[in-house]
Amino acid sequence: MDERRVVITGIGIVSAAGVGRDVNWANLLAGKNGIVPTTLVDVSDLPSQVSGQVPEYDMSTYIDKKELRRMDRFTQLAVSAAGEALDQAGLDIARDGDNIGCMIGSGIGGIGTLEQEFDVFFHKGAMRISPLLVPMFIPDMAAGMTSIRFGLRGPNYNTVSACASGADALGTAYEVVKRGDAVAMVAGGSEACVTRMSIAAFAQSRALSRNNDPETASRPYNLERDGFVIGEGAGIMVLEDLEHAQARGATIIAEMVGYGQSADAFHVTQPSENGEGAARAMNMALKKSGLAAADIDYVNAHGTSTPLNDKFETMSIKTVFGESAYTVPISSTKSMIGHTLGAAGGIESAVTVMSIRDQKIHGTIHLDIPDPDCDLDYVPEGPRDVPIQYAMSNSLGFGGHNSSLVFGRYQG
Amino acid sequence: MRRIVVTGLGLITPLGNDVSSTWDALVAGRSGLGLLTRFDSSAYEHPIAAEVKDFDATEHVDAKMLRRMDLSSAYALAASQQAIADARLDMSSEEGARVGVLLGSGMGSAHLIVEQQAVLDEKGPRRVSPFLTSFMLPDTASGLVAIATGARGPNFAITAACATGGASVGEAAEIIARGDAEVMIAGGFEAPLQPIYYAGFNAMKALAEHEDPKKAVRPFDLTRNGFILGEGAGVLILEELEHAKARGARIYAEWCGASTSNDAYDMVAASEDGHGIGQAMRDALKRAALAPETIDYINAHGTGTPLNDRVETAAIRDVFGEHADALMVSSTKSMHGHMMGAAGAVEASIAVLTCHHGVVPPTINYETPDPACDLDYVPNEARTAEVRHAMSTSVGLGGHNSAIIFGRWEGS
């Protein structure tokens, strides 16, 4: 099988930092905090009352009113982000639709719809349940509806690996293009978890910050960090066969060069000792890219702001990078938009790609009290101009799923 | 190119809780359907289900973990342990990082989420289980199998509605093909027999109705009127050929190729022209480098809904041309019901067993031919026949399609 090179030709993002990739990028570079008091649902009795909500926006750009009601929020966010990415890529879908696929990762799918229908079931009875409960809830529907909306008939499904879901969707889609099963893939992650059940459950598992001050709740690598802040959004990119992109004269934003994936096989919530599993995923991504750790000029970290994650991820970066761990700049997008769970890998990969495009990285905000266990360069001072040839985006999920993606500057 | 073979199978189905009892029932043409007993179903006129019976997970799963996990995860773990034992795969002597897990589910932990939603509503957020987030996602089972077995390689879940199992087994094989693992524990699982989901499927008007539960599912029959929800799990041990040979493993069949596609047509209904499932079948043949004439048997999606069986028949005719009349096509859902995310994996396992045993299980309840369904559906009685290659097809809500091909193992 001849292996193809895979490039990025489109980016779409909706997150707490705004609607659209340009707004997101500008706000992240400005170090603007996107965490707000939660208003999407009643949180008055919940221990965590702040979140990374997507600001209210006009969804009609890509979704008509009737369709909107047939989609859970995680699907709406996905279709919006996919639309933006596809507009930028300018693919000829009418011609190539059979060979363009879609993989959008989501951790839990339409949990908001399920919570609503639960109410219907208990207050009005089984016969009042919506015929759209099942299709709106199932986590593959972001990929399904995106394909239906835009006419993408190639390989299609959702990958789930908790907080690495979006990264694995991108990684799997990359492999699909690389092996020649599609000329392009619309891939990334989407999640709409700012719901009562999700917040209650993550709070009970002691993963969420108990700090309800939106200005300081999400503070990766800070000594006083006490958990993540739940967020929502979607980050989706168009991955394309290089030759296909060249033939149609597309603007190439960056290249995707490697994907590594591993399991801790250790514990359902805790990372394995010394971040061994995460290190293996990074090493696998490097090996498949034909790169050494020292070739990586920027790491967009998982950096959730939980005490364990940030410490263990730092250890795993040291394991993989050796001496260069202390010189490679590392930042956490979650410091500004919270943890978007299954969307995180999608959004953060898109941010990594824009970093390569502009040779500029955003900082980690809220890092005023350094943790001695987290002693790398997390870019606390804010945006920085950095020459980037290759950059890595890491995602680590509950259940011990680790995923690492490597992107590179595209040079003719 | 790396070749991939199937060396172990594990099945928990409405027909039996292991491979041999399930296979015996399939060959005997026995129905696993019956009246729904899992919860109070008095609101329904025809409460029918394909339930797993006398399932005892403690044989395979630690009792403490079992209390925390969803029934669907227990099915997945049990089937995985069976498959590993069947393959005589000694995990203590395997290199854990080269063994991965990819178990898909359409909905994940259906029971657990709803139970905890009731706790949230009735007792408040501080009574929600601290274990919920770790056990509620569709990737939970893949993570748990890794922890139980030490399989530290690639690990995630795929969801593609009713095409989940097929897509999961196909992608797992690709992971071995590209060299990211030597062995994959791959399959699908589902436990949808829960009041709210059942109400959701009922509201979709997709469930079959019949006085005699055992006759409720009648794929390809003129009088068919829907599908019946089933549950269980199917797990295959996929292994790189040289790895299997080196340890002297028994080989059931060879994985030849697979593909997925999307109709890009409608959220619920299949595209009338069968374009999407036809494309998946064509692409799978292409990936396998096989001519249509080399396929002897198709384990069809064959749900028993008026639309599906007609569309699928048309697609088979379109892809296979004249050879369609020489094909044996059966729907084993007539016996084990529609196992949702598990269906594609269970049916892929059945396709493997037809190649291995040279026996094709029938479509039962086939009495009145439908002029729109005019293939050889192996009516009512199993047939002894040489099966060089068998294909398993799946079609899901959201427009997802999958096709996967296995070949008889000739010993070289």
Read off the pLDDT of residues A251-269 as tens digits, 9 standing for 90 and up.
999 999 999 999 999 887 7
With a CB cutoff of 8 Å and minimum separation 6, the contacts of A247 are: none
- What integer pLDDT is reported at residue A267 of this predicted model? 84
Kindly report the average pLDDT of chain A as a whole number.
96
- Residue A409 at interface with chain B, using a CB cutoff of 8 Å: no
3-state secondary structure of B226: coil
Per-residue pLDDT band at B95 (split at 50, 70, 90): very high
Do A210 and A317 reside in the same domain of the chain?
A: no
Do A269 and A200 reside in the same domain of the chain?
A: no
DSSP string computed for B331-378? -THHHH-B-GGGHHHHHHHHHHHHHHHSEE--B-S--SBBTTB-SB--
**Average pLDDT score over residue span B12-25:** 98
Minimal CA separation from A379 to chain B, in Å: 31
**Average pLDDT score over residue span B380-395:** 98
Is residue B338 annotated as part of the catalytic site, yes or no?
yes
Nearest CA in chain A to B170: A155
Instruction: Tell me which residue range forms the domain holding A356.
Output: 258-408
* Statement: residue A1 has pLDDT above 70: no
How do residues B129-163 score in pLDDT, each as one tens digit? Answer: 999 999 999 999 999 999 999 999 999 999 999 99
Do A27 and A86 reside in the same domain of the chain?
A: yes
ipTM for this prediction: 0.96
Kindly report the CATH number assigned to the domain that includes residue A394. Answer: 3.40.47.10
- What integer pLDDT is reported at residue B249 of this predicted model? 98
Decide if B199 and A201 are in contact by the 8 Å CB cutoff. Answer: no
**Average pLDDT score over residue span B286-306:** 98
Per-residue pLDDT band at B197 (split at 50, 70, 90): very high
With a CB cutoff of 8 Å and minimum separation 6, the contacts of B392 are: B166, B298, B299, B344, B347, B348, B350, B351, B403, B404, B406
Domain boundary among A215, A247, A279: A247
**Average pLDDT score over residue span B307-324:** 97
Counting the structural domains of chain A, the total is 2
Is residue B355 annotated as part of the catalytic site, yes or no?
no
Place of tokens 């006759």: B215
- What integer pLDDT is reported at residue A23 of this predicted model? 98
Range from A246-260, A334-348, B47-61, B339-353 carrying the lowest mean pLDDT: B47-61
Nearest CB to A268; choose among B114, B143, B196: B143
d(CA B325, CA B360): 16
d(CA B338, CA B55): 18
> A interface mutation test: which of B139, B149, B185 has the most A CBs within 10 A?
B139
In chain A, which among 284-303 make CB contacts under 8 A with chain B?
284
Instruction: Please give the share of chain A, as a percent, with pLDDT higher than 70.
Output: 100
Do A166 and A289 reside in the same domain of the chain?
A: no
Q: Where in chain B is the domain with CATH 3.40.47.10?
A: 4-246, 256-408
Residue A101 within a domain? yes
pTM score: 0.97
The third-level CATH classification (topology) of the domain covering B256-408 is Peroxisomal Thiolase; Chain A, domain 1 (3.40.47)
Place of tokens 């939980």: A306
Contacts of A109 in chain B (CB under 8 A): 159
> B interface mutation test: which of A3, A159, A176 has the most B CBs within 10 A?
A159
Minimal CA separation from A124 to chain B, in Å: 12
Buried b (16+ CB within 10 A) or exposed e, B26-51: bbebebbbbebebeebeebebbbbbb
Per-residue pLDDT band at B60 (split at 50, 70, 90): confident
- What integer pLDDT is reported at residue A268 of this predicted model? 79
Per-residue pLDDT band at A2 (split at 50, 70, 90): low
> B interface mutation test: which of A119, A140, A168, A172 has the most B CBs within 10 A?
A140
- What integer pLDDT is reported at residue A84 of this predicted model? 98
**Average pLDDT score over residue span A77-101:** 98
Nearest CB to B132; choose among A109, A181, A204: A204
Nearest CB to B265; choose among A148, A158, A181: A148
d(CA B139, CA A272): 18
Classify residue A180 as exposed, middle or buried by CB count within 10 Å of its CB (0-12, 13-18, 19+).
middle
Do A81 and A224 reside in the same domain of the chain?
A: yes
CATH of domain B4-246: 3.40.47.10
Decide if A118 and B114 are in contact by the 8 Å CB cutoff. Answer: yes
- Residue A67 at interface with chain B, using a CB cutoff of 8 Å: no
* Statement: residue B222 has pLDDT above 80: yes
- What integer pLDDT is reported at residue A282 of this predicted model? 98
Per-residue pLDDT band at A165 (split at 50, 70, 90): very high
Give catalytic residues of A, as residue numbers: 163, 302, 339
In chain A, which among 248-287 make CB contacts under 8 A with chain B?
261-269, 277, 280, 284
Do A262 and A385 reside in the same domain of the chain?
A: yes
How do residues A15-54 score in pLDDT, each as one tens digit? Answer: 999 999 999 999 999 999 999 999 999 999 999 999 999 9
